Amino acid sequence: MRPHFVPRAASKALERTLRTLPVAVISGARQTGKSYLAEHAPSLRGHTLLTLDDLDTREHAAARPADFVRQAPRLIVDEVQRVPELLLAIKQAVDEQGHGQPGRFVLTGSANLLLMRQVGESLAGRAGYVTVYPMTRRERRGEGTTAAWTRLFETPFEEWAGLISASDAPQGHWRDEARIGGFPRPALQLDATEREVWFRNYEATYLERDLRDLRAVGNLGEFRRFMRALALRIGGPVNVSDVARELGLEARTLRRWLDDLEVSYQVVRIEAYTRRRTARLRRRPKLYWVDPALALRVAGEHEPRGEHLEALILADLLPWAALDEGRAQVLYWRDEANREVDFVLERGGKLIAVEVKATERPRMDDWKHLEHFTTQHGRDCSGALLLHGGTEVFRAGERILAAPWWKVL
């Protein structure tokens, strides 16, 4: 292992992809560690790294894409979404070798390339996709993983308390964690003052460079106002028409901008859980920012709210689900009586309900919606977790366990 290497949860998924497919696509928001992951992967030490953030390199790639992708036997192309013309050239280079040489091309991008039409057309059947999210709490501790969500699915509910109580995770305060977030540089290397400067620069870079790679936005001031409106609504269902009326902008424009924020991994929409999958598409999704610290800065807030603790939990759930190779989903639940559970984890036909409360002393009222959920879903529900801000692990109901959030993450 190289000095100072911080292992990431996505490392194993990347190595699997490199062994089996000619193209590996590493995507995620800017500054989540995509290039770092590629540079430190054992299988990529013989690859040549080219970044399209460099103007000369970008101009070469755009002018002569076929020559560009053939300049070295194995390439890492950083920020590939900046020159989409490369994708067809990569497809042609792969197809020249029949099934292609495993791990020949590694592409990193600050946009969800799966949602970009050029990628679907060019790399279908040739590429594997690995998403790098902001760092989880365990990654920041050097463990290179997410919380043990899969293990909870594999463990009988009666053993959950022992499993969680045995955790040696350091106690932390969720407000501090939410302010720090999971972007590697501010989380690991900067003090509080330096973090504020970093996040201001991050927002400016996103607006002035990454966003313009996706779409020509005429008025950046209006886009900033839209981002702030979404950040203030973190953890809730977003009615774009309501936001449009509030800001005095066209709803059609805001829907495009929301798509851009999602494609570039700034926000994520969480679908509602229903037994019938087709019905999920008709329910309004909840919206979260992928990093709670960024959400705080964009909103102009200084004091984290309970919704930021939810976002902190979600920041661990998203990479877990992404690395579970399609077996896991993160959803939420709301019934006709407006009873709601923050997150529903679905894996292999089984469910785990997760409610998040900032209180240090949870009471019966805090888990009443979990009781409704576990009752309604019977054997399909393996159990429910109430994650709280205190220190105790205790049984809150027949299939409900209350546990400190920091014991789980």
Instruction: Give the three-state DSSP class for 370.
Output: helix
Residues 316-337 have pLDDT tens digits of: 999 999 999 768 999 999 998 9
CB 107 within 8 A of CB 26: yes
The pLDDT tens digits of the residues spanning 76-96 come to 999 898 898 899 999 999 998
Q: Distance between CA 121 and CA 126 in Å, rounded?
A: 11
- H/E segment holding residue 328: strand 328-334
Point out which residues pair with 24 in neighbouring strands: 106, 128
Phi-psi region of 237 (alpha: psi -120 to 50; beta: other; left: phi over 0): beta
C-alpha distances in angstroms, 115 versus 128, 229, 324? 14, 24, 20
User: Residue 5: pLDDT above 80?
Assistant: no
The residues, any chain, with a CB within 8 Å of residue 288's CB and separated by 6 or more, are: 234, 235, 267, 268, 270, 295, 310, 311, 314
When comparing pLDDT for 376 and 325, which is higher?
376
pLDDT average, residue stretch 302-327 = 95
Closest alpha carbon to 22 in 77, 111, 90: 90
pLDDT for 184 equals: 97
Number of separate helices (H) and strands (E) present in the chain: 21, 14
Q: Collapsing DSSP states into helix, strand and coil, what is residue 131?
A: strand
As a whole number, mean pLDDT of residues 268-281 equals 78
For the chain, residues classed under CATH 3.40.50.300 are: 11-131
Q: What is the mean pLDDT of residues 384-398?
A: 97
Residue 295: Cβ-neighbour burial (10 angstroms; 0-12, 13-18, 19+):
buried
Coil, helix or strand at residue 51: strand
pLDDT at 72: 93
Domain 11-131, second-level architecture: 3-Layer(aba) Sandwich (3.40)
Least confident among 4-18, 166-180, 222-236? 4-18
Find the range with the poorest average confidence among 36-40, 114-118, 184-188, 212-216: 114-118
Instruction: For 110-266, list the strands marked E by DSSP.
Output: 127-131, 236-237
Tokens at residue 208, please?
A: 């002035």
Mean pLDDT in residue range 256-281: 85
Q: Per-residue pLDDT for 246 more than 90?
A: yes
- The confidence score (pLDDT) of residue 2 equals 44
**Locus of tokens 């692990």:** 393
Confidence of residue 71 (pLDDT cuts 50, 70, 90): very high
pLDDT score, position 119: 59
pLDDT at 114: 57
Q: Each residue of 124-156: pLDDT tens digit?
A: 888 999 999 999 999 999 999 999 999 999 999
Q: Tens digits of per-residue pLDDT, 152-177?
A: 999 999 999 999 999 999 999 999 99
Distances (CA, A) of 310 to 111, 191, 289, 316: 24, 24, 10, 10
Average pLDDT, the chain: 92
